[in-house]
Every structure is written in structure tokens, then in C-alpha cells.
Amino acid sequence: MNKMFHALWSTLFIGDEKRRSLHEILKQIPVFQDLTAFELKFVVPILHQREFQKDELIFREGEAGNGMYIVQSGRVEILGRSASGADVLYATLFDRQFFGELSLVDGQPRSASAICSEQSTLYGFFKPDLLELIDKHPSIGTKVLFNLTTVLGNRLRDSNVKLMEFQGQLVTLRGSNGAQ
Amino acid sequence: MVLNKEHLGIRSLYWIVMTGILGLVAYAAYTLFFPLVLGFLFAFLTDPVVDFLERRGWSRHSGSMLLFGVLLAGLVSLVAVLVPMLQKQAHDVTLHEQEYVTIVEARVSQIRATALKYFSPAMVAETEAEIRTTAIHKIQALQNSVPKILAAVAHALGIAIFVPIIGFFFLVEGAEIKKWVISLLPNRYFEMTLMLLNRVNSQLGGYMRGQALDCMINGFLYGLGMTLLGVKGGAVIGVFAGLMNAVPYVGPLIGAIPGMFSLMMDPSATMPWWSVGVLFLTVHMIDNVAIYPMTVGKSLDLPPFVVILGILFGGSVAGIPGMFLTVPLLGMAKQTFIVFYSSLKSYRII
């Protein structure tokens, strides 16, 4: 019932101001940053605002994944599982950061879990809405998709750099072990 | 959490207003149930047209307005054509009343003569008297129920006015309504529900639009065929037969009856009444082999015995509308269950 109250209250009394602040947030998210105010008008209605409590699970590793989340306020921890089964903290995300973007394109299960480590407000952006955006407004959809590809490309580049560093360290370690 | 007085006041006011709104909604839902369902179906079927216009730069609102404008213009034109046609036909019936009575009497004599070849005269006379009594009772019952029929027509007209208004509302605001409903769900189930609704919507939308297209193509073929066979009012009977095609197995059989009857009663007919049967059989075969697989496909295939049982059940509960709705509803239930089950599995809820 509280949710109903909140939904009705926000529908009735929070209009333009909320939309403006959401525009500002989206302008700082790489996936939407080069969209004009007019183009953002088509993106805002397809975002889903969600309120999460402290320690509430957003999604679990291995579950079906269909979209990304943007942190409006609060703190989110991205956790994985080590070979021994223990939780490993991959990242902590704060305001205006985002996660889960890989699910927008690959349709694979979530590669990590996400939990709110404090009360947080998130915006969800999901695959069917992205596909509809591409279908109905191809120029906006293409921009979003291009930005998404750039984000994923950058992540891949970073991973490659890290992999190279690890390989270098491994070779150095093997070399030093061989010398001993 | 501590609530201050102002907060408490707002909450109390909110619950009073909400209770009032819920009461009004419950009352409105009772009277508006059918218009709501039909309006939703209308919006569901015409949604791709508005989507198409949106893709071409129209806003959702103006696209819906255009669609309604075109439909209204079509309806007005249809009424403008149909009303004089019906007036002329009614006038013709009055003019040739005696002629029709003679035809019916001649046919009855023929049937009586045939019956006398196989049954005793007493038995034929008894059956004839029985049919006559039943017919008189039915006509009297029909005459007595004229006020009820008029009330039903007035109710149907009321619904016919509400359906487009509700349909327009769903077309323009459908996405917002869906978003609002989803916003009420707990976080744990919201993403899964969003995906579930999307999958059900795309699969059922495809099925229902395919079914509508199948009915239209069949209706056109039946209408064309009957016009070529010289059936009077073949186009209108074709529309009826096309609609009946939505009811599997028995639909085409029921659809064929008016055409056969029309040909049987027409003294100027050059084709025998059973030629309509051959036409229906041919169109039905073409439908099974070529049209249905292209328009509807096999996505909602149901076992034949389930379909037959469903039609019988739907017919007993809600008459002809029940027969129409049972199979799509069964298909929806099957599809929803499949999608729901796979979604629950993929989100590790079961």
C-alpha cells in the first residue's frame, strides 16, 4: 500500500521538476550523454524508477538479465563469487553511475549480483524498451546503441589492458620462480 | 517511523479519497466491464497501426486521432451506404411478401411429398402440426420479447459509444498505465513481470492480429465466392462467415448455413444450395493449408479435444460470444502459463 501511495503521489505531484533532474542525470550517463533535451523526452518515459532498501538485492548472479540500472542516489555493491564460493566485491557504485549494461545486448544471465548497501533510488532501462526505441525513433535508438557499444568497447579495452598486465606479471613470476 | 500531524492529516485525507475513488471504480467497473474489455481488445488490435504512424514521425496522440478519424469516416460511409440498401430490401420484402409466402408453401409441399414417400400420412401430419405449434410459440415469444430486444439494442448502443472512447484512452495512455501498474510491484518481481508482460504482449498480439487477418481474408473469399454463386447478400453473409471462422471446427459449418438457406429460398437461383457447402469446404481447405499457417501460425496450437470441450463450455456459459472467446482465451492461458513458467525459472524464483 505504501508503494501505491508513493506511485500515486509521485504521479500527481512530481512532474516537470523530476523530469528536469532526470534529464540532468541522464546527461551524465555515457549511454545517453549526447542526446538532446528533445530526444531525452522519448527516453524518460521508458525508464522505471525503483526504490531499494539497505541490503536489498537488485539481481542475483546467474539470473536472467534484461537491462541496466542507473544509480540516482544511494550506493550499490556489485558482487561475484570466488572459486571457493565466497563473495568478492567487484565494485561499489554511487550517484550517476550505472551497471548491468551488458544485459541490454547479450541476453545472457547476469554475470554478478547487485545489492544496495544503503537506501537507494535507481532507474531501470530494459531491452524491450530499447528495441521499441530503435523501432519507433531509429535516430535516437541508434545514438543510444552506438553509445552503449562505445561503453562496452571501452570496458573490453580496459579488460584487455588488465589481462595484459596480469599476463606480464605471470611471466615475471614464472621467470623469477625458474631462476630460483 | 514517527509521523508528524501534518503527515498524518495528508495520509488520512489520502485514504478517505482513495476509499471514495475505489468505491466509484468498483461501481464503474461493474457497468463498464464489457466496454473496458472490448476497448482494451480494440486498442490491442489497432496498436500496430498507431506504432506504424509513430515510426513515421506522428505523435502517439495524433496517430490515434488519425486512426479514429479514418475509422469514423469509414463507419459513416458504411451507414450511408447500408441504410438506403436495407430500406430498399425491406421495401422489396413488403412488395414481394405474397411471392415469398408462395415459395415457402411450395417448398413445404415438396418436403411433405418427400416425407410421405417414407413415413405414414398420420406421422407426417403430426410432425407438421408439431412444427407449426412450435413455430407459432417461437414467433409469439419473439413478439413478447420485443421490449427486451429494444433494451438490449439500447445497451449495445451505449457500449458502442463507450468502446471507442476507452479504446482511444488505452491506445494513447496504454504504456503509462502499464508502467504505473509495474511500479506497484515489489522490486524482486518487477523486472521479471516487465519481461513477462512484454513476451505475453508480443505473442498474444501476434496471435490476435493474425486471427483477425485470417477472418478478414476468409470473409473476403466467402463473400466473393457466394457473390459468384449468385447468393443474394453474399458479401454480408461472407462477413458473418469470416467472423464465424474464428471458432474452430463448428465456425465454418455455422457460417455456411445462411448462404445455403439464401440459395435454397431464392427462386431465381441458378446454382444448387449445396454449392455453398462446396465453396466453404474449398475455402476452409485453402485456409488450413495456406492462410492460417501464414497469418496465425502454430504458436497457440491446442489439442482438438480441448478446443471442442472449450467451445461447448464457452457456449453453455456465454452463448455465441462464449464460443468466440473460448479458444483465444484458452490460447492466452496456455501462452501465459508457458511464458510465466519459463520466466520464473530464468529468474530463479522456482
CATH number for the domain including A23? Answer: 2.60.120.10
- Spell out the residues 6+ positions from residue B39 whose beta carbon is closer than 8 angstroms to its own: B162, B163, B164, B165, B166, B167, B169, B170
Nearest CA in chain B to A69: B191
Q: With CB atoms and an 8 Å threshold, state whether B347 touches A57.
A: no
Q: Three-class SS of residue B72?
A: helix
Question: Which residues, including other chains, have CB under 8 Å from residue B299's CB and lie 6 or more apart?
Answer: B203, B206, B207, B335
User: Looking at the domain assignment, is residue A177 inside a domain?
Assistant: no
Residue B2: which pLDDT band, with cuts at 50, 70 and 90? very low
Q: How far B55 CA lies from chain A's nearest CA (Å)?
A: 4
Neighbours of B17 (CB within 10 A): 11
What is the percent of chain B with per-residue pLDDT over 90, rounded to a whole number?
Answer: 11
Helices B121-144 and B146-183, packing angle to 10 deg: 60
Of residues B69 and B85, more confidence is placed in: B69
Are the CB atoms for B226 and B299 separated by under 8 Å? no
Which domain does A17 fall in, by range? 2-172
Rounded to whole angstroms, the Cα distance separating A109 from B346 reads: 8
**Whether the predicted pLDDT of A1 surpasses 60:** no
Say what the pLDDT of residue A15 is. Answer: 55
Q: Do B179 and A45 touch (CB under 8 A)?
A: yes
Residue contact B190–A50, C-beta within 8 A: yes
Instruction: Measure in Å the smallest separation between the Cα of A173 and chain B Cα atoms.
Output: 41
Residue A1 and residue B15: Cα distance in Å, rounded?
10
Confidence of residue B139 (pLDDT cuts 50, 70, 90): confident
Q: What is the tally of structural domains in chain A?
A: 1
State chain B's mean pLDDT as an integer.
83
Cβ within 8 Å, pair A63-B188: no
- Regarding an ipTM greater than 0.85, the answer is no
> Would you call A1 an interface residue with chain B, using a CB distance cutoff of 8 Å?
no
Domain extents for chain B?
A: 34-76+107-184, 186-350
Inter-CA distances, B57 with A40, A58, B61, Å: 16, 36, 12
Could you tell me if residue A44 is inside a domain?
yes
Q: What pLDDT band is residue A18 in, cutting at 50, 70 and 90?
A: low
CA distances from A89 to A77, A103, A129, B291, B309 (A): 7, 20, 30, 56, 57
Question: Which of B173, B183, B188, B192 should we substitute to test contact with A (largest number of A Cβ atoms within 10 Å)?
Answer: B183
Mean pLDDT of B292-296: 79
- Give the closest of A5, A52, A67 to B191, CB-based: A67
Residue A180 lies in a domain: no
B182, three cell numbers: 509495474
How does residue B265 score in pLDDT terms, banded at 50, 70 and 90? confident
Tally of CB atoms within 10 A around B250: 15
> Is residue A29 domain-resident?
yes
8 Å CB contact of B176 and A45? yes
pLDDT digits (tens, 9 = 90+) for A130-150: 999 998 899 999 999 999 999
- Cβ <8 Å between B347 and A63: yes
The answer to whether position A53 is within a domain reads yes
The answer to whether residue A179 is domain-embedded is no
The reply to whether A61 falls in a domain is: yes
* A80 bridge partner residues: A88
User: What is the reported pLDDT for B148?
Assistant: 84
The answer to whether B191 contacts A49, with C-beta atoms less than 8 Å apart, is no
Which residue among A3, A59, A126 places its CB closest to the CB of B194? Answer: A126
